[in-house]
């Protein structure tokens, strides 16, 4: 499930962001790939709770 969501976010960032004029496409695509790294979603969850 996580891989599917990560791929969808990666694809949307790569396809839609340039269409709307975003200059930070690489950052958005990198953030999508970080979902696949073990522990990163858990760290983000803990930061969001604080």
pTM: 0.56
Angstrom distance (rounded) from CA 35 to CA 4: 10
CA dist 20 to 6, 9, 32, 50, Å? 21, 16, 18, 33
- Please state the rounded mean pLDDT for residues 31-47: 80
> Is residue 8's pLDDT more than 80?
yes
Domain span including residue 39:
2-49
Percent of the chain with pLDDT over 70: 100
Domain total for the chain? Answer: 1
CA dist 22 to 7, 25, 29, 37, 40, Å? 19, 6, 12, 25, 25
> Is residue 35's pLDDT more than 80?
no
What average pLDDT does the structure give for the chain?
A: 83
């Amino acid at each position: 499930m996580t891989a599917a969501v990560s791929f969808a976010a990666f694809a949307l960032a790569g396809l839609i962001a340039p269409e709307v004029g975003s200059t930070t496409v690489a950052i958005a695509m990198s953030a999508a790939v970080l979902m696949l790294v073990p522990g990163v979603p858990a760290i983000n969850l803990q930061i969001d709770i604080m």
